[in-house]
Amino acid sequence: MTALTHINKIVALLCAMSLINLFHVAIAGEMKDAGTSAHENKIEIKDFAFNPKTLTVKSGEKVTWINRDEEPHTIVSVEKQFKKSTALDTDQGFTITAGAPGTYNYFCSVHPKMTGTIVVEK
């Protein structure tokens, strides 16, 4: 009987531990998701246009352009405020980290009619 009690205790302990682990995993998952979404600032390039045309982000956040056209496009800061991208082929992306608060106008140097703006807030 004493032996069974011990086994029960061990089983109970293992169950408790696994529950705690599950709980931890769940919390970690939630935290990770929350973290990622805060930094997901995507600009899709489609039909020779930046979408959204104006994007507001917080300083320090990442901004990623992705080219969905069958035509190469570039991202070039009008005032040379950030490093320009290379020519992005279909499905290629380009990421920057938003710096100081301000308004950042950019365009595609291959198709200069394509323009966009990033507003960086504190």
Partner 1 sequence: MSDYISHDHEHDGIDRRGFLHCMAWAGTGLLWTISGGVLASRTLAEIAKAGGSLPAATDLSFLQISDSHIGFSKEANKDVTETFKIALDRINAMPTPPSFLIHTGDITQLSKPEEFDTFDEVLKSCRTKDVFYVPGEHDVLNDGEKLYRERYLKSVEAKGAGWYSFNKNGVHFIGLVNVLNLQAGGLGQLGDDQLEWLEDDVKGLGADTPIVVFAHIPLWAVYPQWGWGTSDSERALGYLKRFGSVTVLNGHIHQVLQKVEGNVTFHTAMSTAFPQPAPGTAPSPGPMKVPAEQLRSLLGLTSVDYKQGKTALAVVDSNLS
Report the interface residues with partner 1, using CB under 8 A. Answer: 47-49, 63, 69-72, 74, 76-78, 81-83, 85-90, 92-100, 102, 104-107, 109-113, 115, 118, 120
Structure tokens at 85: 């991208």
Minimum distance of partner 1 from residue 32's CB (angstroms) = 21
Whose Cβ is closer to partner 1: residue 29's or residue 112's? 112
Half-sphere exposure of 58 (CA within 13 A, CB side): 6
Minimum distance of partner 1 from residue 56's CB (angstroms) = 13
Minimum distance of partner 1 from residue 7's CB (angstroms) = 55
Extract long-range pairs of 85-90: CB within 8 Å, 24+ residues apart: 88/45
Q: In this structure, how many other beta carbons lie within 10 angstroms of the beta carbon of residue 55?
A: 19
